[in-house]
Structure 1
Amino acid sequence: MSGGVDSAVAAARAVDAGHEVVGVHLALSRMPGTLRTGSRGCCTIEDSMDAQRAANKLDIPYYVWDFSERFKADVVDDFIAEYSAGRTPNPCMRCNERIKFAALLEKAIALGFDAVCTGHYATITVDEAGNRELHRASAWAKDQSYVLGVLTAEQLAHAYFPLGDTPSKDLVRAEAERRGLSVAQKPDSHDICFIPDGDTRGWLAERVGTATGEVLDRSGAVVGSHEGAHAFTVGQRRGLRLGTPADDGKPRFVLEVRPKENTVIVGPKEALAIGEIAGVRYTWAGLAPVDATTPFACDVQIRAHADPVPAVARLDGDEFVVVPDIPLDGVAPGQTAVVYLGTRVLGQFTIDRTVSAVPVPA
């Protein structure tokens, strides 16, 4: 129970369904903030108190479990390491993968619980053979299946998402009001939970340091300088402070980050078009295809709120390779690609390499 309206209503529905429910709030920071600022941040003391009030209203036991050390190692330190390597990580994916459905689930199973129930908007179905499948929520505008794409078949067997069939968040808030839950109108959390002020560049600078480097165009010409490559991500336009304008006068965007050389490569917007993505760190959300080495049609989604794009996927040796029907825009290594078959989440991989759809001019 995060202290938000979704997990509170999910817990209430689990109680209504006849389950023996225990509310658990995860303490993910050794020094949590006391109060939230609107929709920024989470895991504050206020959030813990909101979760407890909801548990009291539902008359269920409530505990706070300290996962701060593992969260720091598996999510925060990973975030720093990925940016330092020139990649753009998704900490919400890592949290679901390594904390909520790994560390939390492991402890829950050890204590005799059957499943972890959360307020995510996604659904789980069971096929004729009894195999579980992860599917999109009924309301695509609120669908959160993308951030759950890291779940494995074993984890899906112990997951429960009571909100998946709810058509809108407004209905969840109205239900919370009817149930007398004080979090009914509480704002949703946004941004990275451990960077509540939203200043990712400043946060990284404090932990990685700064070092002056060059900004290059695709021909290798120096067009500016920066104070640390880790502060940039593919597709970025703002904050480049380039001293040399483009020949065509158009804005330039970050195309690549090279941390070893401490350089940033920029170019025109059209150069952000990506014709192929691939990665070796992949998992299947349920049953894997019988022969994934044979190219198959699918949809690929590269951000939580991006539209799915028709594509062809295959396993090529150790790599999961996806070729979209139309180029993807501004893909960065480190992002997660989630592959769908219709509404079903087939699997995911961390993007290691991209192939531009626009060749570098000679």
Structure 2
Amino acid sequence: MKVLAAMSGGVDSAVAAARAVEAGHDVTGIHLALSRNPASYRSGARGCCTIEDSNDARRAADVVGIPFYVWDLSDRFHADVVEDFMDEYAAGRTPNPCLRCNEKIKFAAVLDRALGLGFDAVATGHYARLETGADGLVELHRAADHAKDQSYVLGVLTQQQLRHSLFPLGGTPKPEVRREAEARGLRVADKPDSHDICFVADGDNAGWLREKLGDRAPNHGGDVVDDATGEVLGTHEGTYAFTIGQRRGLRLGRPAPDGRPRFVLDIEPVSGTVRVGPREGLTVDRLTADRPRWCGTVPSHLEGTVQLRAHGAEHRATVRVLGADGGPGGERVEIDLLDPAQGIAPGQAAVVYDGSRVVGSATITATARVRTGS
């Protein structure tokens, strides 16, 4: 096959490209230039879109012995990922930009262009496995190395995208990948993994949002109030500085009467009100979600598990897929958690699993506490 290897500049994508070559594919390496100003993105081996990363990817392609190109997708990335990130926080939600990047950039814009250029598949260094099911559909499964499993952020991929994807590292533990990189002479063998959000240069999300959003309504200042009593405990400069479950940085000045820590329980971006309360106020066992994306056949009812954040725990759950009006259809997903969760915010992705297989994902719109005795 003709394979396009997406090379971020890290060890995983470099070894994935090398394995694709070793498997007999005709491989071309590409690096995605995602920043209009690379110096403003994370550097020091902590990002995936800097000039430093581009140079690391080029050197790795030279060692592997494949052609290498840089594709400028910075405008598309800014519109589909960065602007989406700002809009979601402005609406009081907590987005996952890496998941959105996979959906809109790596497996949409890149794959579409690759197919248009005559490539058969795109290979990446993600830790996930692909299998062909008894029904002939390509299934997305968790990686063998569960500590590095990235199937959560790939839960947005459709069957068409999975059919044109390769994940060469899915069956390999991360330490073995690093040893293989060293044996292949790849200088990125010891390069640290990327962390946090690549386009927030210093890791200060709240500061970045304050600078970018400014006085954009409804992110004006407001009150921090006690969820139980309604008492105003303090003020803030913008709801974008908060997320559900947050404990630090509340700047309340005085402890709760019982001495227990307070957590952010709710964010009301229109009024600017941030509600805080005890940890137990974070517990939820019912989720409503929209914008579902299914990896294969659309389910109507499923007893399985859901994962609610990257590298988070699995929760046993009952999943129902409904129409917008509550009847048959596929626009709305309702999830009952048999294992309650804490600190779940609208905007997060709920990724549905059947065993190790990813069924699909949806974006959480609301949470609720139903079984108060559980």
Query: Counterpart of 2:318?
Result: 312
Give how far 1:247 is off.
Answer: 2.4
Structure 1 distance, partners of 2:30, 2:308, is 31
Structure 1 distance, partners of 2:207, 2:178, is 35
TM-score for both structures, normalised by structure 1? 0.95
Paired letter, 2:319: A
Query: Counterpart of 1:355?
Result: 368
**For the structure 1 residues 316 and 286, does the alpha-carbon distance in structure 2 shift closer, same or farther, using more than 3 Å as the test?**
closer
**For the structure 1 residues 8 and 258, does the alpha-carbon distance in structure 2 shift closer, same or farther, using more than 3 Å as the test?**
same
Q: Say which SS state the counterpart of residue 63 (structure 2) adopts.
A: helix
User: Which of 326, 330, 334 is residue 321 of structure 1 equivalent to?
Assistant: 334
Q: Say which SS state the counterpart of residue 251 (structure 2) adopts.
A: coil
Give how far 1:39 is off.
Answer: 4.4
User: Which of 164, 172, 185 is residue 180 of structure 1 equivalent to?
Assistant: 185
Give how far 1:129 is off.
Answer: 2.9
Q: Say which SS state the counterpart of residue 41 (structure 1) adopts.
A: coil
For 1:209-358, list aligned pairs within 5 A.
209=214, 211-218=220-227, 219-289=229-299, 292=300, 295-318=301-324, 319-357=332-370
For 1:56-95, list aligned pairs within 5 A.
56-95=62-101
Paired letter, 1:195: V
For 1:97-108, list aligned pairs within 5 A.
97-108=103-114
The gaps in structure 2 that reach 5 residues or longer are 1-6, 325-331
Structure 2 distance, partners of 1:174, 1:146, is 26
Structure 2 distance, partners of 1:243, 1:59, is 60
Percent identity (aligned): 60
Paired letter, 2:208: W
**For the structure 1 residues 321 and 146, does the alpha-carbon distance in structure 2 shift closer, same or farther, using more than 3 Å as the test?**
same
Give how far 1:35 is off.
Answer: 9.4
**For the structure 1 residues 34 and 275, does the alpha-carbon distance in structure 2 shift closer, same or farther, using more than 3 Å as the test?**
closer
CA contact (8 A) 1:327 1:357 kept: no
**For the structure 1 residues 185 and 241, does the alpha-carbon distance in structure 2 shift closer, same or farther, using more than 3 Å as the test?**
same
Paired letter, 2:221: T
Paired letter, 2:279: K
**For the structure 1 residues 34 and 230, does the alpha-carbon distance in structure 2 shift closer, same or farther, using more than 3 Å as the test?**
closer
Structure 2 distance, partners of 1:45, 1:35, is 9
Query: Counterpart of 1:136?
Result: 142
TM-score for both structures, normalised by structure 2? 0.92
Q: Say which SS state the counterpart of residue 26 (structure 2) adopts.
A: coil
CA contact (8 A) 2:196 2:203 kept: yes
Paired letter, 2:153: V
Paired letter, 2:100: R
**For the structure 1 residues 31 and 195, does the alpha-carbon distance in structure 2 shift closer, same or farther, using more than 3 Å as the test?**
same
RMSD: 1.5
User: Which of 114, 120, 124 is residue 120 of structure 2 equivalent to?
Assistant: 114
Structure 2 distance, partners of 1:36, 1:200, is 12
The gaps in structure 1 that reach 5 residues or longer are none
* Cα deviations by residue, 1:159-205 (Å, 9 ceiling, x for unpaired): 10000010x21100110111111111111100100013110000000
Q: Say which SS state the counterpart of residue 189 (structure 2) adopts.
A: coil
Structure 1 distance, partners of 2:74, 2:278, is 42
* Cα deviations by residue, 1:128-172 (Å, 9 ceiling, x for unpaired): 232111000111111110000000111101110000010x21100
Structure 2 distance, partners of 1:243, 1:170, is 45
CA contact (8 A) 1:134 1:156 kept: yes
Paired letter, 1:178: A
CA contact (8 A) 1:296 1:314 kept: yes
Residue correspondences, number: 354
Structure 2 distance, partners of 1:277, 1:36, is 34
Query: Counterpart of 1:145?
Result: 151
Give how far 1:245 is off.
Answer: 3.2
Q: Say which SS state the counterpart of residue 134 (structure 1) adopts.
A: strand
CA contact (8 A) 1:25 1:65 kept: yes
Structure 1 runs (4+) greater than 3 angstroms displaced: 34-39
